[in-house]
Structure 1
């Protein structure tokens, strides 16, 4: 394998690790919550968890 090919494989692996880290971080930030709305129709409570 040539040196340029090795660099390309390493770069692809680094990009994959960074993308996986960002995805994992975003998944951890999505916590269940409750949304309460008051409008003309009354009170609405929505939960996403």
Structure 2
């Protein structure tokens, strides 16, 4: 494998790692309380 190919593989892995880290952070930062008002009334869901 040439050096440029190796650098490309490393760059792809770094980008994938950053994407997974951002996705994980956004999932953990979601609000813990959800309030819905619909035809059935008021519904409150929480994760805590």
TM-score by length of 1: 0.68
Alignment root-mean-square deviation, CA: 2.1
Q: Which has the larger radius of gyration?
A: 1
Counterparts in 2 of 1:6 and 1:32: CA distance versus 1, 3 Å: same
Say which SS state the counterpart of residue 46 (structure 1) adopts: strand
TM value normalised by structure 2: 0.69
From 37, 44, 47, the equivalent of 1:46 is: 44
Gaps of at least 5 residues in structure 2 are none
Residues paired across the two proteins, number: 45
5+ residue gaps, structure 1: 38-42
